[in-house]
Amino acid sequence: QVQLQESGPGLVRPSETLSLTCIVSGGSISSYYWSWIRQPPGKGLEWIGYIYYSGSTNYNPSLKSRLTISVDTSKNQLSLKLRSVTAADTAMYYCARVTTLTYGEYFHLWGQGTLVTVSS
Amino acid sequence: DIQMTQSPSSLSASVGDRVTITCRASQIISTYLNWYQQKPGKAPKLLIYSASTLQSGVPSRFSGSGSGTDFTLTIRSLQPEDFATYYCQQSYSSPRTFGQGSKVEI
């Protein structure tokens, strides 16, 4: 079955760029929307943004100025880059496959998440 | 942004109890409402989508209802594995937003 696996550096210095990858296995990245969602320690969930396999994106306005989400269909993976990070960006970062409906959509398949800590 | 407000934020319950969690949207979202369950150290798991459709494989003791701005997640007879945090999420407009979570404790 389809599995998602996030990976990243774990620790990022303030003001630097956070870079994460989500590898999709057991199925194709094509024909789906993919999303990044994060969760600060002990807190709730925050939607970061979407990417369609074709490359079109939709970002959370609160992060848009610092955010780039991309997809590499040849590697069956998606990536996230968040620039100029601060301690407020410390969180568990999840990638998820989106199932779209005629009305609405939902986050169907989730990776296990990767914890990113922003600290000097 | 659409604000999603859940109540209660936490509750204590016993095995066999009927549990109800409510979610209120700051504007009308029709039935563009999903529910997720999250256990400690795990990713969220989809329970219900489109306000009332049970995801495949989810036990029938879970049910969802509502439309417009007010929604409910009900667990008919709480089981030990149901102790977790539950989140609602709207897919009506961007940015997608989640409720703050409702923790169900023993």
Other Cβ atoms less than 10 A from the Cβ of A32: the count is 20
Among all residues of chain A, which has the CA nearest to that of B35? A106
Compute the average pLDDT of residues A3-18: 97
A22-68 pLDDT tens trace: 999 999 999 899 999 999 999 999 999 999 999 899 999 999 999 99
- Which residues touch A20 (CB under 8 Å, ≥6 apart)? A6, A7, A8, A36, A79, A80, A81, A93, A95, A114, A116
Query: Contacts of residue A45 in chain B, CB cutoff 8 Å?
Result: 36, 44, 87, 89, 98, 101
Measured in degrees and rounded to the nearest 5, phi and psi for residue A88 equal -65, -15
- What residues of chain B, 27 to 56, have a C-beta less than 8 Å from chain A? 30-32, 34, 36, 42-46, 49-50
Contact call for A46 and B98, based on CB within 8 A: yes
Among all residues of chain A, which has the CA nearest to that of B93? A104
Distance, CA of A115 to CA of A10 (rounded, Å): 6
A48 min Cα distance to partner chain B (Å): 8
Distance, CA of B73 to CA of A108 (rounded, Å): 18
Specify whether the CB–CB gap between A23 and A108 falls below 8 A: no
Contact call for B32 and A104, based on CB within 8 A: yes
Please give the mean pLDDT across all residues of chain A: 96
Res. A107: pLDDT tops 90: yes
Buried b (16+ CB within 10 A) or exposed e, B47-68: bbbbbbebbeebeeebbbebee
Query: Contacts of residue A111 in chain B, CB cutoff 8 Å?
Result: 43
Among all residues of chain B, which has the CA nearest to that of A59? B95
Contact call for A44 and B97, based on CB within 8 A: no
Res. B23: pLDDT tops 90: yes
Please give the mean pLDDT across all residues of chain B: 97
Instruction: Tell me the torsion sign for CA atoms B83, B89, B1, A83.
Output: positive
B86-103 pLDDT tens trace: 999 999 999 999 999 999
Contact call for B95 and A105, based on CB within 8 A: no
Judged by a CB distance cut-off of 8 A, whether residue A52 touches chain B is no
Nearest to B90, CA basis, from B16, B6, B2, B19: B2
A119 token code pair: 């600290």
Res. B66: pLDDT tops 90: yes
Nearest to A69, CA basis, from A81, A60, A54, A61: A81
Distances in whole angstroms, Cα of residue A32 to Cα of each of A29, A108, B41, B53, B63: 6, 11, 27, 21, 27
